[in-house]
Amino acid sequence: MAKRDYYEVLGLEKNASADDIKKAYRKKAIQFHPDKNPGDKQAEENFKEAAEAYDVLSDPQKRQRYDQFGHAGMGGAASSGGFGGGMSMDDIFSQFGDIFGGHFGGFGGFGGFSGGSRGGRRVNRGSDLRVKVKLTLKDIANGVEKKIKVKKYVACSKCNGSGAEDDHSKSTCSTCNGSGVVTRITNTILGQMQTQSACPTCGGEGKIITHKCSACAGEG
């Protein structure tokens, strides 16, 4: 199957500005992000395709070659699947810093979809709740009010969700030195590539709990 035109992938005209390219990719990335389309293989392919298009069009030199020669001008990158095909999903997410203004790692680090901010505890969005309620024909015809009980997580009243016993029960993470991110340098055929992701030790918070809250056992 022939590769689609990169401008077409992002819904852009040939004379699109760098800002237009960034905005278009941001829109596509949000639309096709795997967290918003779980199990949708086509959405995942569209996500990778948009990342590949952005990788080329956001780079002035690559864009010039592409505008002049098309996919053929991209050499091995175009024939092997390019950015989206030759790199993992984590590699794609590692490029999100200039688009979404933060440090992103894998699936769990996409800003508002499934990750958390460094300002507080990391909270993942849960699944939708489904509750079975028995109704009679009379209830359906006339309407009725039913009370249901739902368990939910709330912030611990003792530690206010921090998970620490008190203000002195946290210390600076030694893995990231309090920055909340770790830098990884990978050697490639094009030279060294530097990527950043959330610190695995502190979860991106920059601090670790030394004394857990006695009320919630550190859960927050």
Residue 192 domain flag: no
The reported pLDDT for the residue numbered 90 is: 56
Asked if 198 and 179 count as a contact pair (C-beta separation under 8 A), the reply is no
The reported pLDDT for the residue numbered 5 is: 92
Q: Helix or strand or coil: residue 182?
A: strand
The stretches in the chain having pLDDT less than 50 are 77-85, 87, 101-123
Which residue type is seen at 135? L
Residue 135 domain flag: no
Residue 167 domain flag: no
pLDDT tens digits for range 146-159: 888 887 778 888 88
Asked if 171 and 198 count as a contact pair (C-beta separation under 8 A), the reply is no
The reported pLDDT for the residue numbered 96 is: 56
Tokens matching residue 34: 């795997």
The reported pLDDT for the residue numbered 94 is: 56
Residue 41 domain flag: yes
Residue 75 is part of a domain; what is its CATH number? 1.10.287.110
Residue 63 domain flag: yes
Placement of tokens 């055929």 in the chain: 189
Residue 22 domain flag: yes
The reported pLDDT for the residue numbered 160 is: 82
Count Cα neighbours of 74 within 13 Å in the Cβ-side half-sphere.
23
The reported pLDDT for the residue numbered 57 is: 92
Residue 177 domain flag: no
Q: In which domain, by residue range, is 44 found?
A: 1-115
Residue 190 domain flag: no
DSSP one-letter string for 19-55: HHHHHHHHHHHHHH-TTTSTT-HHHHHHHHHHHHHHH
Total structural domains in the chain? Answer: 1
